[in-house]
Chains A and B, each alone.
Chain A
């Protein structure tokens, strides 16, 4: 049985690990989770990304969620921010495309030009 103090310590440790990870992350991925994104299927896109991260044992990437980006008709949208703070925005992302973004963009530094939202 864990005490409340134990749990707090565990959470603090996890938070610190995540903060370190965020700072040292090569890529930061953010999934737009506004009403428009959710209605267009952002939840499954997020699930696909999380699943692929675990399957490929990717350590240097941080995943987060954000609100509406202002291009509701292009949802679900995913932003990938690279080492030099250059952000690539993908539009109309399906779960399959999300997996491809992890495999190609994140792991092989290859931007999927056909799906970039300009």
Chain B
């Protein structure tokens, strides 16, 4: 994956397939600690210990259409080659938490990329899921909730697809405000 925002899109797709109704994506960038941390938390069906240990194996998948599942192993590879790691906490019937850490200035760390695209496409593509996006940097923080689109839709009595461009624009602007120079 060229951008971490694509890995995030991929991991959240797992959450949706695990029938999550709530997904929280939390990103923390700390130049002071040379740290980038990405956390994805869902209330999907969760995994038992044995499943978690298998989940990072590229030759493990729940899918029936092909027999390899690369999503989590690719994300882990990105983290590990950037001086960080990937951790999965999960409980059956409760949900999962995937945490990936990276050295912010590591030369192998892929750029975060276009989070606005990943997030808004997820919201519109899975209308039944409630998404919450948090992004903290040394310069400020941002919080975006999928209710934003629905509220805009209700206020303007317009189509949800008409909210896509404004939502992406807003997110891009807000992210720019809190971005550190290294991005």
Give residues in A with beta carbon < 8 Å to B. Answer: 2, 7, 10-11, 13-15, 17-18, 31, 33-36, 38-39, 43-44, 46-47, 50-51, 53-54, 57-59, 63-65, 67-70, 72
Contacts of A70 in B (CB 8 A): 65-66
Whether the pair B125, A14 counts as a contact (CB closer than 8 A) is: no
What 6 pairs across the A-B complex have the smallest Cβ distances? A70-B65, A65-B125, A14-B150, A53-B161, A35-B71, A54-B161
Whether the pair A14, B6 counts as a contact (CB closer than 8 A) is: no
Partner of A64, one of B66, B118, B125, B147: B125
Given A10-B150, A50-B161, A39-B125 contact (CB < 8 Å)? no
Contacts of B128 in A (CB 8 A): 15
For the complex with contacts A14-B160, A39-B6, 14 further pairs of A-B residues with Cβ separation under 8 Å are A7-B150, A7-B151, A11-B130, A11-B150, A17-B160, A34-B63, A35-B70, A38-B10, A39-B1, A43-B121, A53-B161, A65-B122, A65-B125, A72-B66
0 or 1 for each of B104-145: is its CB under 8 Å from A? (1 = yes):
000000000000011001101111101000000000000000
0 or 1 for each of B8-42: is its CB under 8 Å from A? (1 = yes):
01100100110000000000000000000000000
The closest CB in chain A to the CB of B66 belongs to: A70
- What are 26 inter-chain pairs, A to B, with CB distance below 8 A? A7-B147, A10-B151, A11-B147, A13-B154, A14-B160, A15-B128, A18-B160, A33-B13, A34-B10, A34-B13, A35-B74, A38-B6, A38-B10, A38-B13, A39-B1, A43-B117, A53-B161, A54-B159, A54-B161, A54-B165, A58-B161, A63-B125, A65-B16, A65-B125, A68-B66, A70-B65
Contacts of B71 in A (CB 8 A): 35
> Please, how many angstroms separate the alpha-carbon atoms of A7 and B130 in the complex?
12
Partner of A65, one of B13, B63, B147, B149: B13
Give residues in B with beta carbon < 8 Å to A. Answer: 1, 6, 9-10, 13, 16-17, 63, 65-66, 69-71, 74, 117-118, 121-122, 124-128, 130, 147, 149-151, 153-154, 159-162, 164-165
> Please, how many angstroms separate the alpha-carbon atoms of A65 and B154 in the complex?
23
Kindly name the residue among A2, A53, A54, A64 whose own CB sees the greatest number of chain B CB atoms within 10 A: A54
Contacts of A18 in B (CB 8 A): 127, 160
Whether the pair B6, A46 counts as a contact (CB closer than 8 A) is: no
The closest CB in chain A to the CB of B64 belongs to: A70
How far apart are A12's CB and chain B's nearest CB, in angstroms? 9
How far apart are A3's CB and chain B's nearest CB, in angstroms? 12
Given A33-B125, A54-B165, A38-B150 contact (CB < 8 Å)? no
